[in-house]
Amino acid sequence: MSCYTCTGCTATKDMNLCFADVTFGNFPNGTVNLTFVSTVDGSVQIATGTASGGSLTINSANLPDFISGVAYKVTSDVDWTLDSTVRSCVSIRFVLKRDNTGIVTGTNETVEVC
């Protein structure tokens, strides 16, 4: 699995673009605002979710529309722990994943450090 490292942030493993939801890591319980900045054109998109049980999972309907192969610099308005380390930002890239039947859809993705 490839990793995107050109944003100056923690690199994460590529995830499937056709996801059902994404788990972003450990957050304090409550409202979390994530900011996504495109590394291609600098456009900014924000997603809001509610962390529960220390984890933040947001379904696809509540996340921005991502472009396949484009990396995003992601920051949070609250402390974000990923792989047991507090992160100020991470690099996330979504790509189309395929198997022998075609494009894989409806996956549950998890942000993972490379």
What is the tens place of the pLDDT at every residue in 56-111?
999 999 999 999 999 999 999 999 999 999 999 999 999 999 999 999 999 999 99
Per-residue pLDDT, 2:
72
Q: What share of the chain is helix, strand, coil (3-state, %, to 5)?
A: 5, 55, 40
Rama region for 42: left / alpha / beta (φ>0; ψ in -120 to 50; rest): left
pLDDT of residue 20: 97
pLDDT the model gives residue 8: 79
Would you place residue 43 in the very low, low, confident or very high pLDDT band (cuts 50, 70, 90)?
very high
| Residue 53 burial class via C-beta count within 10 angstroms: exposed 0-12, middle 13-18, buried 19 and up | exposed
Strands 98-99 and 55-59: unpaired
What pLDDT does 6 receive?
66
How high is the pLDDT of residue 4? 61
Q: Is the pLDDT of residue 53 over 80?
A: yes
Domains and CATH numbers, the chain: 10-110 (2.60.40)
- Report the pLDDT value the prediction gives residue 5, as an integer from 0 to 100: 63
Can you tell me the distance from the alpha carbon of 2 to that of 14, in angstroms, rounded to the nearest whole number? 6
Q: For residues 59-73, b (16+ Cβ closer than 10 Å) or e, as one string?
A: ebeebeebeeebbbb
pTM over 0.85: yes
Gap between the Cα atoms of 81 and 61, Å rounded: 24
